[in-house]
Amino acid sequence: QVQLVESGGGSVQAGGSLRLSCAASGATYRVESMAWFRQTPGKEEREVVAVIGIRDGHQYYADFVKGRFAISQDNTKNTFDLQMNSLKSEDAGVYYCAASMIMGSPLSPRDYVYWGQGTQVTVSS
């Protein structure tokens, strides 16, 4: 089992920044990929925001966050952060960190077994 706990959500004005953090514990040695997903109003499925491969550090970003968001990992602390800059109103939603046993930075939420509880991000215009 892997436990994930997110922190760092909150409210910010458009153009502002937030940093989300995900603390992983338990059987983290089994994790091959970590990702941030979000659930935004009107969307039925959680959409991938950013993914990082644990072993090679390869990063993937959804087109709508490229150049604005950055995912990072601290292996000594087992934490995974998402730095979000230049936030837009459409970035508002619940953000989840997730862990996968699959290598290659999978993009589908169905490839992720462990999920955090989610953290709310509100962006006011």
For residue 74, the Cα-to-chain-centroid distance in whole angstroms is 14
Tell me, what's the pLDDT at 97? 98
What's the average model confidence in pLDDT over 24-37? Answer: 95
- Could you tell me if 4 and 22 are in contact, meaning their C-beta atoms sit under 8 angstroms apart? yes
Tell me, what's the pLDDT at 75? 83
End-to-end CA, the chain: 40
Model confidence band, residue 119 (pLDDT cutoffs 50, 70, 90):
very high
Q: Is the pLDDT of residue 120 over 90?
A: yes
Name the β-bridge partners of 69.
84
The predicted-structure confidence for 39-98, as pLDDT tens digits, reads as follows: 998 888 999 999 999 998 999 999 999 999 999 999 888 999 999 999 999 999 999 999
Mean of per-residue pLDDT scores for the chain: 95
DSSP codes, 87-98: --GGG-EEEEEE
Q: Is the pLDDT of residue 17 over 90?
A: yes
Q: Is the pLDDT of residue 122 over 90?
A: yes
